[in-house]
Structure 1
């Protein structure tokens, strides 16, 4: 076995796929008909040894690929309250993601576009400014992956794969939701009564929709409490 051929590159090494100029990490090595082929970034495609090169040895033009994982706490149709707007209700009608990249820092901002239920006034707010009153549907948090390519001739290795700041706020979010749950339940009852009055006064079906969503959410909260 001493003469057994070994792969030129190893798992975990950062390489450039020379036919595309993209940078990635070797995640698996396979043997096909006695030839080593390499999996890059867990992708389905496989690459021969002569189509990849170590990043530090590559002298050509580079396209840097970055995948950004985004998770949205709110989604289209959710009814929310906004910081500094009291008990006024807004419906989420749009989501905008702003991706910021600098030499020494990087982050993503998620901005929600809202329409006030009572008069349709437009507003935008960040996730931190929103409190969920009732979701439009029984859905999990919406997640999305965004692939981006950067073109550059002389990019330092430390700049090629910027560290993504993944903020795992699940524990913080759980504390926040627990603290607000009692307030939300009381607020939901007030909201239902207010919109029942508006519906009886104007007979606008949008008010009835909010009432139904509030009742649906109250039932969901009651069911979750019973399951504990």
Structure 2
């Protein structure tokens, strides 16, 4: 089978960023795809699925055309990730919540891990700075558990 024939049938390409039904808050990068052909006396049936890596931690997931939505193409991915980084930065810098100190610490640890994974993927050192900032907030919370708002 000619590779270009399969490429015409795919809705998503390598490096595209997509969203999966049921996981609307998470972004995934298309890492690869698989095309299977089934042959029988009645004819041929083709099935395709995509290999996806969750951003920022790389968790693997299979996706199918009917449950994936394109967020941006590979060419637009850098800009989209930068915008998401800025949104996450604002969220980290201004946490207002009625959560307990332990819940806030758990959230900040999640943020730290997300930033470090984004650094691993992009090598953008600003993610390391944001991860450090999350740890600074954790230290403040441990020293003053009643503290609820953090600002830069």
Higher helix share: 2
TM-score normalised by L of structure 2: 0.50
Higher strand share: 1
TM-score normalised by L of structure 1: 0.35
Bigger-Rg structure (1/2) = 1
